[in-house]
């Protein structure tokens, strides 16, 4: 049995989308370990005296619909009055004890496959500041962000997956560092192979950022990091962009990686081989 709990403050002002994204974000922890979500409990903090209760109803509806889509059951929850709305789920899932996937099993020579694009953090902030239209975010990006990682993991489980983590608040480099630390190896990532959401680079170029970029940069700076390709400051910031309901980072043998990417793509899942696990001291090279 797997038990996870995760909640977020609103990444978007639309309450139904917020509920969907928050639920997908929470359920992803079970998928990333190779598990199947079974039950979920709502975890809600809401300023009932300041916001219309219809907003909360739409948040909960978005979360409920995503739980049902995952094949799980919403069995209750807990609500606290708070100054800022926050929502997420406590999710119980099931996985065979001998088939639990962690972020620490990568092997030298493994290829790293990423599902979902990067850049949601700066886009959410840009919508709030009025630099990026919500209608465009809703059309181009939110469906992928709110998508469950279940389909990707169902396909991945047909392969020998050595390690997996979902990409969330630490950004792509932070989670690559987790993989390197777990395996006690180096990691090489090819910047040109990283998928980015439309508009994300443009928002950094316009001066938008997030509250987590600086902390994510500082976290990675404590380990060897070599950016060996020429990047603009804005392009480099995407490496630290925090994700909400990000994709899976899958580590598997090089011989299987191309087939996995092809099968994910045919199934409608964004997928790219972005780098490899290499022998050497713990650290990251961006080439």
> Per-residue pLDDT tens for 169-228?
999 999 999 999 999 999 999 999 999 999 999 999 999 999 999 999 999 998 999 999
Is 2-94 CATH 3.30.70.260?
no
pLDDT score, position 7? 65
Instruction: Give the whole-angstrom CA distance, residue 46 versus residue 51.
Output: 8
Strands across the sheet containing 36-46: 2-8, 86-94, 36-46, 73-81
Q: Where are the domains of the chain?
A: 2-94, 111-286
Average pLDDT in the chain? 95
Contacts of 219 (CB under 8 A, 6+ apart): 170, 174, 177
For 40, the enclosing helix (H) or strand (E) is: strand 36-46
Architecture of the CATH domain 111-286? Alpha-Beta Complex (3.90)
Which residue matches tokens 């983590």? 165
Residues 102, 255, 115, 223, Cα dihedral to 10°: 60
Q: Write down the pTM of the prediction.
A: 0.95
> Per-residue pLDDT tens for 74-107?
999 999 998 888 999 999 999 999 999 999 999 9
The b-or-e profile of 241-276 (16+ CB within 10 A means b, else e) is bbbbbbbbbbbbeeebbeebbebbeeeebbbbbbbb
Instruction: Give the whole-angstrom CA distance, residue 278 versus residue 287.
Output: 13
């Amino acid at each position: 049995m797997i038990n996870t709990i995760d909640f977020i403050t609103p990444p978007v002002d639309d309450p139904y989308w917020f509920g969907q994204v928050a639920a997908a974000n929470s359920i992803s922890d079970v998928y990333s370990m190779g598990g199947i979500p079974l039950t979920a409990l709502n975890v809600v903090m809401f300023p009932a005296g300041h916001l219309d209760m219809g907003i909360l109803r739409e948040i909960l509806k978005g979360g409920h619909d995503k739980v049902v889509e995952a094949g799980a059951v919403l069995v209750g929850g807990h609500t606290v009055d708070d100054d800022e709305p926050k929502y997420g789920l406590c999710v119980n899932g099931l996985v065979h004890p001998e088939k639990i996937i962690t972020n620490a099993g990568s092997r030298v020579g493994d290829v790293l496959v990423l599902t979902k694009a990067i850049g949601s953090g700066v886009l959410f902030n840009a919508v709030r500041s009025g630099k990026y239209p919500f209608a465009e975010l809703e059309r181009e990006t939110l469906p992928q962000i709110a998508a469950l990682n279940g389909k990707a993991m169902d396909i991945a489980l047909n392969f020998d997956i050595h390690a997996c983590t979902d990409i969330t608040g630490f950004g792509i480099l932070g989670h690559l560092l987790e993989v390197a630390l777990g395996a006690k190896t180096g990691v090489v990532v090819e910047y040109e192979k990283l998928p980015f959401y439309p508009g994300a680079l443009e928002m950094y170029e316009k001066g938008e950022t997030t509250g987590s970029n600086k902390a994510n940069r500082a976290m990675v700076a404590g380990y060897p990091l070599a950016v060996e390709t020429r990047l603009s400051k804005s392009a480099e910031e995407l490496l630290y962009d925090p994700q909400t309901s990000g994709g899976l980072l899958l580590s598997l043998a090089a011989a299987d990686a191309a087939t996995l990417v092809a099968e994910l793509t045919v199934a409608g899942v964004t997928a790219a081989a972005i780098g490899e696990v290499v022998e050497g001291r713990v650290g990251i090279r961006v080439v």
